[in-house]
Amino acid sequence: MNRRVVLSWSSGKDSAWALYVLRRQPDTEVVGLLTTVNEVAGRVSMHAVRQELVEAQAAAANLLLWPVPLPSPCSNDAYEERMSQALHALRQEGITHIAFGDLYLEDVRAYRERQLAGTGIEPLFPLWTSRPETPRLARRMLDAGLRAVVTAVDPHHLPERLVGRPYDAAVLAELPEGVDPCGERGEFHTFCFAGPMFAGAIPVQVGETVCRDGFWFADLVPRP
């Protein structure tokens, strides 16, 4: 029996690569992307990418997008209530699994597992690896044709100049020692605009760069 999977979608490279990996598994049917959205700003939570760009990603992947609107500010109780509602709706649609693009953070994985316990939906971690393996994973993504933009950086770990840059070998070479090349610990975030998981590239350009909530963000806008 095939697994009917929804992929937790942040808009970044790890989510996109997880989609590519899942689609190469014969017993797995990816039926949609699940994205939390700030209902006030109309942007993806944490990454702050415009919702219209995530909709473009879903269209390029030929998948349904299931947005989960979150209030702003959003308490943990409010988040868990909205997610519980979303999970119930997904179960009614016959979804058996939710996949996550997490790489190696055990506490994050344990939280996902607790959140899904008793829902009838099981978690999947198709990219799960170890910290020493992430440089190789980053190169594998780029070698396969994945293309992304660095949309946010934590200035405690990275210089502002990297925000808005292509996620490529040059950026990887500039990462300070100790920074994960996949940004698994929140050092940076990306938006994936092209790769083998999409039917075509999503035209975007880098707009204004702002400092907000302790991060530097590059506002991506659709390119005409």
- Which CATH class, in words, describes the domain spanning 3-222? alpha beta
What distance in Å separates the CA atoms of residue 222 and residue 51, rounded to the nearest whole number?
11
Residue-level pLDDT at 48: 85
Give tens-digit pLDDT for 113-144.
999 999 999 999 999 999 999 999 999 999 99
Give tens-digit pLDDT for 162-206.
999 999 999 999 999 999 999 999 999 999 999 999 999 999 999
Give tens-digit pLDDT for 67-106.
998 988 888 888 889 999 999 999 999 999 999 999 999 9
Helix H segments across the chain?
Answer: 13-23, 51-61, 76-92, 106-116, 134-143, 169-174
Helix H segments across 123-220?
Answer: 134-143, 169-174
Residue-level pLDDT at 1: 62
What distance in Å separates the CA atoms of residue 217 and residue 181, rounded to the nearest whole number?
18
Give tens-digit pLDDT for 1-15.
689 999 999 999 999
